[in-house]
Structure formats: C-alpha cells, structure tokens
Amino acid sequence: MEPAVGTNQTERDVVLFFDTTLRDGEQSPGATLNTQEKLEIARQLARLGVDIIEAGFPAASPGDLDAVRQIAQTVGADARVDKFGRSAPPPVIAGLARANKHDIDAAWEAVRHAQRPRIHTFLATSPIHMEFKLKMTPEQVVAKVQEMVSYARSLCPDVEFSPEDAGRSDPRFLYQVLAVAIAAGATTINIPDTVGYTTPAEYGKLIYDIRQHTPGASQVVISCHCHNDLGLATANTLAGIESGARQVEVTINGIGERAGNTSLEEIAMALYTRHQIYEVDSNIVTQEIHRSSDMVSRYTGMVVQPNKAIVGANAFAHEAGIHQDGMLKHKRTYEIMDADTIGLSRSRLVLGKHSGRHAFRMKLEEMGYHLNDEDLSEVFFRFKDLSDKKKVVTDNDIQALVADELYQPPETWVIENVQVQCGTGLIPTAVVRLRNALGGFVRTEAGFGTGPVDAIYKGINQIVDVPNKLVEFSIQAIDEGLDAVADVTLRIEAPEPVGAGESAQGGMGRRIFSGRGVDTDIVVASARAYVQSLNKLLAAREERSSDVAV
C-alpha cells in the first residue's frame, strides 16, 4: 500500500473519522431527532473518539441551526479523553452547506462557536446532476465552486468540499473541479459515491487517480463518503483507505438515506482487527462502540438487525454445535475479535429481586454506564419492578431498561395506566389514562379495536388527538424464555411535513416519527412506543411553530 498523503501525522498514520449520523444519518425515514437527543449523541460521539462531527444542515430550519450551534458551544468546546487516557481537544464541528452564500452563512453562524469549526460545502459534478438538477454547464459549476469555496474560506479556516455524485462524474472534469476547490482554500476534499454505484476496484482507483492527477491533492486530506445501495459502502471505503484516503465519512449503525451510509463500527473494527493489512490507526475508542450503537438505535427507533456486523445481537453468538465445540477449545476458532473490545463485556454479577442499589450501580459501571443519582433511581425503580416478574435479570434486560428510561424525547404525554380486556368472543377494549406533563392534568378514555394493541391506540388517540398513520410495527424478545422482555418499535407518519426543514438534496420529504417501548407486557410496551412517537411528533410541531414565529 502506498504511504498516505495530506494527513499531517508525524507519529502515527491515522485515518480521521468524520461522523455524519446527525446529518446524513438523520435523513433516514423515521430517524427524527430533537435538539436534546442530538446533543446526547454528539457527547457520545466525542467519547467514542470521532475526529469530526457533522452536526447537521443549518440552513434547513432555524431549529436545525440552533441544534448545531448548541453542539458547537458545548461538545465543540469541551476537552475530552482520548483512547490513550490523555487529554485531547474537542472534535471538529462541521455544518453542511450547499454552494450558495445563504447556506454557507447559516453553517458558519452555527459552527463558529466551536473551538475547531468546519464548513462543508458541496456541488454536484456528474453529467446527470448538472443537466437535470442544477441546470448548469460544466463551466458554470467550476465558477460556482471557485466562488463559494473562496467565500467559505473567508469565514472559516477549515473548509471541506464535496463534488456530489463523484462516483458517476467524468474523472478529468473531477480533477479540474477539485483543483479549483483546493486553490480556493479547501482543506479537505471529499469524494462521495452519492448513490452507491461504484465497486471497490472502481472507487479505489478513483481515489488513487485523484491523488495522481489533481494539482494540490498532496496538500489536503482526501476523504471517502460511500453509500450502501449495492451493499458495498464498507468495501468501497476500505478500498479508498488503501489508495491513500485519510478521512472516512461514516454513521453509527450505517444509518442514512435509502440503504444507508458506511458503518462507523465496521470501518473502525476492520482497521483494528486487520491492522497488518491496512497499516493505519484511528482515534476511535472501540470500547464505546456498543453504547454508541445502542443510543443511536434507541433515539432514532431504527432497530439494529440481529446479523449486523459488529453490533448485531448475533455478532458474538454461536449456535451450531461445531462452532460451540471450537469456541470451548479456543475462542479464536470462530471469533476474530473480543466482545469487550466494543464495550460488550459480560460481567460476573447476576442480579435478581434481592439485589440492592449498590450492587445495581456496580453492575451498571461494569457495563460502562455511569449514571447520576437521579437517573440511577429511575432505572433502579424499573429494575426492581422487572425483578418481581423475572427470576434473573440479564445484561440485555438492563441495557434495554437503561435505554428505555434515559433515551427519551421530551414528554408531553405520560402513561399513567393502561388495561385491556380481550379474548375469544369479546370485543377488545382498552382503558387508557394519560397525564399531560405540561399542564399537569390527567385524562382517561376507552378504545375499541380489532385487538388489544389496536384498542389501546384508539384510546390514546381519543386523548392526544394528533392525526397520523401507523406505517410500521414490530416486536421482538430481548432474551429467551416466556418471561422475556418485549421490545416494540413503530413508526408513524404525519399527514403534513410537520417540523420538517428543507433537505440538502432539496424537497421536504416524508415526515416519519419512531417510537420504542420496553416491558415484560407486550401491551404496555406497545403503548410506551406509541406515546413516545406521538411525543416526538408534538415536539416537532412545536419546533415548527417556533420557527415560523421567529
């Protein structure tokens, strides 16, 4: 492999991790995040050791601008601890901007409060995008890139430029555009495979050729941004690294538009596990990977598939007899990495209904959760309630309780009580009592449906009265056994683009809100999930009203 260029590394050859979970990841249908959730995820990304956080698209709406600003003022200003236990500067905070002054001004207003701000601007360079989307000639595109990158650089010392749909662009035109961007002041050049079209051989050659044929390429960081439409995002990104790219644009759990983005955990662990192949390092604190994955999954409502690499429930599970036999003899027969490397350690403490608060706190700390007294009390109350229903509470149960209790959106409505009556020959009936957290009043209504869950949702709708369409409902058991905890995930669609700002690609798009609930009773878990999704919808409606008022 050739030596890297443009990395400015003296001791280690490091690949920089640019996390776009809060921007490209949030563009996944249903992955709506409010400001507080974005702040919590950004704090976790800092603990994870990502080098750059793309915190959002500030021009989309005043709410998005404010969220990026708050991340810049907090996460972007606070020192952190790196993977060696040393004090390290905060991550770079980036804001996305189309190649126009309005967007660039909004991005700068949002990120300028960070200790290390970055403006990331882009313009399409493929023939199909220039002709049909931009309606610009190649000459106009070159001129616009020169003008807007120069303008961004006049505001911010760190500017990234992306030629959108680079994977389908003419390479010679790409070299020309990138040379202009570098001359205008871009410090990072990102090469997006926007529609997931290229193969690893093609993408690796594209990165290599850009380094060889673009004037000034040796003076900047070359970055990879790959989408997963053909399931090749990770492979393409690794091919880019082999060809000299030293920044990777990734998301937690690989979430993103359509089939998603390159998965952070897959790249991080590929570099860690196959260091002798790639011969590069990263600043990722791998022990934070599992907690990051769980947080993003809970906040976005996007369940991680069981067979997902690195963070899926089956990633370290072995059922086949021959595999189990090999594992008992030597774990490396069927495991190429240790679960505790990603923070998925299994502790020796087994908890039940007689366990006390001190043992519970120790258990949480062994699992990597460090809760304040107030949060600990909330989770401990849920734990004791669960302990009365199960003989042994597993690590998976505790992780679900922590996530369900702490990763909650602002609550307008809180469940006080639900009860159902159903069975053969009966009309499923539910009585629901909700408390309005803002007004303090309580309302009780009854609902009738085709089943107990439908009846509960009809009762909740009588109280909350927010038009929506249920577009997805799923339920899974967290552990084995008849007393397993149920984990319900659902998505609802708002009839209008409530709370939606314009996307970077243009248009408002569908507005989908997810909810997730955990309980030993699937009916209660279903109610929790639905109320959570409604609270997200209400919060988005309130944010949109505030934006309009401003």
Q: What is the mean pLDDT of residues 92-108?
A: 98
Are both 165 and 259 inside the same structural domain?
A: yes
Q: pLDDT category, 397, cuts 50, 70, 90?
A: confident
Distances in whole angstroms, Cα of residue 52 to Cα of each of 47, 141, 223, 279, 391: 12, 27, 12, 22, 44
Judged by average pLDDT, the poorest of 76-90, 153-167, 277-291, 503-517 is 503-517
Inside any domain, residue 9 = no
Please give the pLDDT value at position 507. Answer: 54
One domain for residues 370 and 510: no
Contacting residues for 541 by C-beta, under 8 A, at least 6 apart: 466, 498, 499
Domain co-membership, 393 together with 456: no
Higher pLDDT, 68 or 8: 68
pLDDT for position 95: 98
**Cα–Cα nearest to 60, from 92, 32, 91:** 32
Which H or E run includes 190? strand 188-193
| Residues 535 and 421 grouped into a single domain | yes
User: Could you tell me if residue 248 is inside a domain?
Assistant: yes
CA torsion, ordered 323, 327, 332, 335, to nearest 10 deg = 60
Query: What is the pLDDT of the chain when averaged over all its residues?
Result: 88
Check residue 413 and give its pLDDT. Answer: 95
Q: Which of 284, 300, 316 is the last residue of a domain?
A: 300
The number of folded domains in the chain is 3
In a domain, 182, yes or no: yes
Model confidence at 294, in pLDDT bands (50, 70, 90)?
confident
Angstrom distance (rounded) from CA 173 to CA 169: 7
pTM of the model: 0.84
The pLDDT tens digits for 166-225 are: 999 999 999 999 999 999 999 999 999 999 999 999 999 999 999 999 999 999 999 999
**Both tokens assigned to 370:** 């460090």
- Tokens, residue 325: 């036999």
Together in a domain, 419 and 385 = no
Q: Give residues with Cβ within 8 angstroms of 346, minimum separation 6.
A: 339, 395
Closest CA to 248 of 269, 276, 231: 269
| pLDDT tens digits, 47-80 | 999 999 999 999 998 989 999 999 999 999 999 9
pLDDT the model gives residue 510:
65
Confidence of residue 154 (pLDDT cuts 50, 70, 90): very high
pLDDT of res. 368: 64
Can you give the pLDDT at residue 408? 65
In a domain, 162, yes or no: yes
Please name the residue that has the structure tokens 């909700």.
434
In a domain, 199, yes or no: yes
pLDDT given for residue 306 in this prediction:
86
In whole angstroms, what is the distance from residue 416 CA to residue 434 CA? 5
The CB density around residue 262, as the number of other CB atoms within 10 Å, is 28
Instruction: For strands 159-164 and 188-193, give the pairing.
Output: parallel
If asked whether residues 449 and 397 sit together in one domain, one would say no
**What is the predicted pLDDT for the residue at 327?**
42
CATH number of the domain where residue 159 is located: 3.20.20.70
Residue 2: band (very low, low, confident or very high) from pLDDT cuts 50, 70, 90: very low
Percent of the chain with pLDDT over 70: 88
CATH number at residue 510: 3.30.160.270
Q: Is residue 341 part of a domain?
A: no
Asked whether residue 422 falls in the same domain as residue 372, the answer is no
Provide the domain limits for residue 177: 16-300
What would the mean pLDDT of 257-272 be, rounded to a whole number?
96
Region of 423 please: left (phi>0), alpha (psi -120 to 50) or beta.
left
- Which of 405, 427, 446 is the C-terminal boundary of a domain? 405
Q: Which pLDDT score is estimated for 409?
A: 65
Residues 482-511 have pLDDT tens digits of 778 888 999 999 887 655 556 666 555 567
Q: Are residues 243 and 223 in the same domain?
A: yes
**321 pLDDT above the threshold of 50:** no
Predicted confidence at residue 374, as pLDDT, reads 84
Token pair for residue 401? 């309780």
Q: Considering Cα of 332, then 336, then 338, then 339, what sign does the dihedral take?
A: negative
What's residue 211's pLDDT? 98
Burial state string for 367-384 with b = 16 or more CB within 10 A and e = fewer than 16: bebebeeeebebbbebbe
Same domain, 277 and 362: no
Same domain? For 253 and 401 the reply is no
pLDDT one-digit tens code per residue, 330-370: 555 667 788 889 887 655 456 777 778 888 888 887 766 77
pLDDT at 549: 40
pLDDT reading at 83 higher than 90? yes
Confidence class for position 5, pLDDT limits 50, 70, 90: very low
Look at residues 405, 426, 451 and tell me which one is the last residue of a structural domain: 405
CA-CA distance, 299 to 31, in Å (whole number)?
8
Task: Verify that 158 and 276 share a domain, yes or no.
Answer: yes
In a domain, 323, yes or no: no
Residue 454 lies in a domain: yes
Per-residue pLDDT, averaged over 530-549, amounts to 77
**The pLDDT of residue 385:** 82
Same domain, 385 and 432: no
For residue 260, give Cα distances in angstroms to 106, 125, 236, 410, 518: 26, 22, 14, 27, 26
Q: Percent of the chain at pLDDT above 90?
A: 63
